[in-house]
């Protein structure tokens, strides 16, 4: 027996496939584990939040293939999306920091 509630909460298997594939390809393309990407993500977070107010939960780090300027073909590149909440206040705060 399938519960009616289950019918509504069940996630489409197509969406599950897409999500699994995205994670899989991030690791495959990077040639490194998702854990390593997580560490890179945390380091980005730490260094950038020294200067800007950012949304920690919304940072994504992935590896994409981009056309290279020096050789023909594509090279892997790290692509990070980091939403900035407030640019100014932190800058002023930062200026006051002793160097």
Partner 1 sequence: MSEVIVVTSGKGGVGKTTTSANVGTGLAMLGKRVVLIDTDIGLRNLDVVMGLENRIIYNLVDVIEGNCRMKQALIRDKRYPDLFLLPSAQTRDKSSVTPGQMIKLVENLREEFDYILLDCPAGIEQGFRNAIAGADRALIVTTPEVSAIRDADRIIGLLEADELRRIDLIINRIRSDMVRRGDMMSVDDVMDILSIPVIGTVPDDEDIVISTNQGEPLVGMNGYAGQAYLNICKRILGESVPFINLDSSSGLWSKISCLLKRA
- For 76, the enclosing helix (H) or strand (E) is strand 74-81
CB of 48 to partner 1, least distance (A): 27
CA distance 75 to 64: 8
25 binds partner 1 (CB under 8 A): yes
Which of 14-22, 34-42, 46-54, 85-93 is the region at the interface with partner 1 (rule: CB under 8 A)?
14-22
17 binds partner 1 (CB under 8 A): yes
Structure token pair of residue 24: 């899989």
Smaller CB separation from partner 1, 15 or 35:
15
9, 12, 47, 70: which one contacts partner 1 (CB under 8 A)? Answer: 12
CA distance 37 to 60: 10
């Amino acid at each position: 027996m399938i519960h009616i509630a289950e019918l509504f909460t069940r996630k489409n298997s197509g969406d599950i496939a897409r999500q699994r594939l995205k994670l899989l390809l991030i690791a495959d393309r990077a040639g490194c584990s998702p854990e390593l990407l997580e560490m890179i993500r945390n380091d980005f977070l730490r260094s950038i939040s020294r200067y800007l107010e950012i949304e920690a939960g919304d940072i994504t780090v992935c590896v994409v293939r981009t056309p290279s300027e020096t050789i023909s073909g594509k090279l892997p590149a790290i692509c990070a999306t980091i939403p900035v909440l407030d640019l100014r206040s932190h800058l002023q705060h930062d200026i006051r920091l002793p160097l």
